[in-house]
Amino acid sequence: MPDQVLFAAEVMLNGLMAGVLYSLVALGFVLIFKASGIFNYAQGVMALFAALTLVGIMDGQVPFSHLINAIFGTNIHHFGWHTPALLAIILTIMVMVLFAWLVQRFIFRHLVNQEPIILFMATIGLAYFLEGVGDLMWGSDIKKLDVGIPKGMNETIESITHGAFGYGFFIDNLDIFATFVAVILVAILVCFSQYTKQGRALRAVADDHQAALSVGISLSYIWILVWSIAGFVALVAGTIWGAKSGVQFSLSLIALKALPVLMLGGFTSIPGAIIGGLIIGVGEKLFEFLVGPWIGGATENWFAYVLALLFLVFRPQGLFGEKIIERV
Amino acid sequence: MLYREAGDYSTSYPEDSQTFPIKFDRYRYYVILAVAFLVIPFFINDYWANAVLVPFLIYSIAAIGLNILTGYCGQVSLGTGGFMAVGAYACYKLMTSFPEISIMIHILLAGGVTAAVVTLFGLPSLRIKGFYLAVSTLAAQFFLVWMFNKVPWFYNYSMTGMIGSPERTVLGIVVTGPATDAWAKYMVCLIFVTFCAVLARNMTRGSVGRKWMAIRDMDIAAEIIGVNPLMAKLSAFAVSGFFIGIAGALFFSVYLGAIEVTEAFGIEKSFLVLFMVIIGGLGSIFGSFAGAAFMVLLPVLLKNLLVGGLNWPTDLAQHLYFIIAGGLIIIFLILEPHGLAQLWRVAKEKLRLWPFPH
């Protein structure tokens, strides 16, 4: 096979892996949008916050140490202990559940029945707020996250492809790990929503708020549940991205990567989020590889959006979205 | 929404159809204009102009533009930053290509160019609606910023990739470049703000504005009563683009003087202007001003208070700014989802009856 085809195949494989990561973030959006009609812009910042909290707990940082130092003139940073990864993850999940409860109790309970744009703006406000809190609590420097995820080139794949085509594919272990995690996560989510009582209630709420309310499902409980799940998904996404490129502000920008995925797959569809993510991942890597050098590179910033826009012109509800029915 | 008051009679048609039919509003408008044009230019200094007044005026124009699109026509746009960049770069190319023509004309033309570009990006709005449209305007945001970064023709092949505004004069007074006086900057912006606000106010109460509002409230119903959605939506995009382009051109040429596109017109700008519109009040010209004032003053106040007053490090003040800005936005949305303009209306109603509640 000619080298160009092999390169393109490698790029495609890497694109698939990147697409899985986009899907992970998009999943959180879809869950909240389906259950409460809120387009949660803060999902990316939630991933950042979850990753920051995880690192902070693992390293035994003192929360708000900057603020405390500024007010009292002290100089404290660390408790001086290290928490094992598993315990830290459980603690972080608890923090995210607490966060879900706070968001529900203090923000969205007061915004019931508002227009979607108002709810959207509230989540942008929440994103700012959470970003500030995250930085204030744990400091804004770049942190290394190490929870024992394998990293580096996968040598098995390299040697197999080298034997088969005479050219070894470079695929990061982290990406393979991320794919496994994503598959497991989606499987858990599907089982949860199909086979448990809470999952059934969740689907009922997503289907029709009023009908769900009238058969005795507590909306506020479901919303807290859904925000907690979104927080958990954010933690998984934040951990993987954080392990890949360090925990820093730019982590919150992955929300912007997830938006075209959502547009493509439809805001209301979980399979849509996954397939959309794969299409976007492959599409933008291939475009950058094939066309990028001709027009100056760095096309990854906008290609996903333009691709999604073109799809939307032909299917305004996204690939898997519910058909939009309009009545006067 | 009858915009009339008891005891305020009109005796002729022109009187009845003037911009501010209520006497109180009209006099208030004259007083504000008089103060803005005749008092402030004599007291303005560099700090006030650069930190507060000039950005306030420029953001007001951008907010009016976005308000027309989002508040009056109901099309949510997250591409404001990219569209402002179009205005800035159009102005730069015009200034450097035709140095003999007045800068005022260049700024207007930059508005026109932006209107054309925004209309182009508005075309999908005929099929895509709601959040799908909001996200698809992000395509414009990222694509435009990328393009201004990568195509050297736009920044005249300069080494740094930045654009800087050369010195230009209006009636012998320097208005752009580093030698500009504070009052000159302020006056140029003020003239454009007045022009845009009067234009916007009159458009939104005329037939164009009513069509926009019909589309916003329900586009299918509007189509049935005879509003052409193509014309209504695209005209909203064009008018909004014109204002945003003027704002971008002023932002570059008069306010900053030299810009780097990803820094000056990133996605944060889009959100900032959207915040102004929402906090000020969707569908209100006064609200655009109120929102712009709020969002410009907030960081200045916080910085003075925290860094100047309490001597805290600047990065801490920055984090606190995010917390406070985000918190205030949420609180505002909970207390008054219709923005500062609605707050003003409610206050007026209350004061009218005060101190007797019935």
Residues A161-178 have pLDDT tens digits of 666 666 666 777 777 888
pLDDT of residue B202: 87
Percent of chain B with pLDDT over 70: 97
On the question of pLDDT at B243 being above 90, the answer is yes
Distance CA A86, CA B2 (A): 63
Q: Which helix (H) or strand (E) is B170 found in, with range?
A: strand B169-170
pLDDT of residue A171: 72
- Chosen for mutation from B129, B133, B138, B220 (greatest number of chain A CBs closer than 10 Å) is B138
CA distance A151 to chain B (A): 31
When mean pLDDT is compared across A44-53, B7-16, B59-68, the lowest value belongs to: B7-16
ipTM score of complex:
0.80
> Quick check: B126 contacting A, CB < 8 Å?
no
CA distance A125 to chain B (A): 4
For A312, the closest of B132, B149, B328 (CB atoms) is: B132
For A298, the closest of B128, B146, B271 (CB atoms) is: B146
A243: amino acid identity, one letter: A
Q: What is the mean pLDDT of chain B?
A: 84
pLDDT of residue B114: 93
For A122, the closest of B274, B313, B330 (CB atoms) is: B330
Residue A319 falls within a domain, yes or no?
no
Residue A323 falls within a domain, yes or no?
no
Q: Are B329 and A121 within 8 A, CB to CB?
A: yes
For A302, the closest of B143, B323, B330 (CB atoms) is: B143
On the question of pLDDT at A328 being above 70, the answer is no
Q: What is the mean pLDDT of chain A?
A: 80
CA distance A56 to chain B (A): 17
Give the residue from chain A lying closest to B150, CA to CA. Answer: A296
- Chosen for mutation from B227, B295, B333 (greatest number of chain A CBs closer than 10 Å) is B333
SS3 sequence, chain A? CCHHHHHHHHHHHHHHHHHHHHHHHHHHHHHHHHHHCCCCCCHHHHHHHHHHHHHHHHHCECCCHHHHHHHHCCCCCECCCCCCHHHHHHHHHHHHHHHHHHHHHHHHCCCCCCCHHHHHHHHHHHHHHHHHHHHHHHCCCCECCCCCCCCCECHHHHHHHHHHHCCCCCCEHHHHHHHHHHHHHHHHHHHHHHHCHHHHHHHHHHHCHHHHHHCCCCHHHHHHHHHHHHHHHHHHHHHHHHHHHCECHHHHHHHHHHHHHHHHHCCCCHHHHHHHHHHHHHHHHHHHHHCHHHHCCCCHHHHHHHHHHHHHHHCCCCCCCCCCCCCC
On the question of pLDDT at B3 being above 70, the answer is no
Give the residue from chain B lying closest to A124, CA to CA. Answer: B326
In terms of CATH architecture, what is B21-263? Orthogonal Bundle (1.10)
pLDDT of residue B58: 92
Give the A:B interface size as CB pairs under 8 Å.
Answer: 145
> Quick check: B146 contacting A, CB < 8 Å?
yes
> Quick check: B217 contacting A, CB < 8 Å?
no
CA distance A314 to chain B (A): 8
Give the residue from chain B lying closest to A103, CA to CA. Answer: B330
Residues B256-292 have pLDDT tens digits of 878 887 788 888 888 889 888 888 888 888 889 988 9
Distance CA B301, CA B324 (A): 12
Domain that holds residue A57: 3-314
Mean pLDDT of B329-337: 82
Distance CA B186, CA A165 (A): 68
A43 in Cβ contact with A273 (< 8 Å):
no
Q: Are A308 and B136 within 8 A, CB to CB?
A: yes
Mean pLDDT of B23-49: 81
pLDDT of residue A241: 81
Q: Which residues are paired to B169 by β-bridges? A: B174
Q: Which helix (H) or strand (E) is B164 found in, with range?
A: strand B163-164
- Look up the CATH number of the domain holding residue A94: 1.10.3470
Residue A201 falls within a domain, yes or no?
yes
CA distance A29 to chain B (A): 13
Q: Are B275 and A318 within 8 A, CB to CB?
A: no
Percent of chain B with pLDDT over 90: 15
On the question of pLDDT at B358 being above 70, the answer is no
Residue B1: pLDDT band by 50, 70, 90 thresholds?
Answer: very low
On the question of pLDDT at B17 being above 90, the answer is no
On the question of pLDDT at B251 being above 50, the answer is yes
On the question of pLDDT at A185 being above 90, the answer is no
pLDDT of residue A184: 87
Q: Across A214-228, A284-298, B144-158, which has the greatest mean pLDDT?
A: A214-228
On the question of pLDDT at A146 being above 80, the answer is no
Residue A272 falls within a domain, yes or no?
yes
Residues A212-227 have pLDDT tens digits of 888 888 888 888 888 8
pLDDT of residue B111: 92
- Chosen for mutation from A117, A119, A280 (greatest number of chain B CBs closer than 10 Å) is A117
pLDDT of residue A153: 66
On the question of pLDDT at A107 being above 90, the answer is no
On the question of pLDDT at A14 being above 60, the answer is yes
For B135, the closest of A110, A259, A302 (CB atoms) is: A259
On the question of pLDDT at B175 being above 80, the answer is no
pLDDT of residue B313: 72
Q: Are A318 and B132 within 8 A, CB to CB?
A: yes
Top pLDDT among B112 and A178 is at B112
Residues A234-250 have pLDDT tens digits of 888 888 888 877 777 77
CA distance B245 to chain A (A): 21
Give the residue from chain B lying closest to A253, CA to CA. Answer: B267
Name the domain count of chain A.
Answer: 1
On the question of pLDDT at B2 being above 60, the answer is no
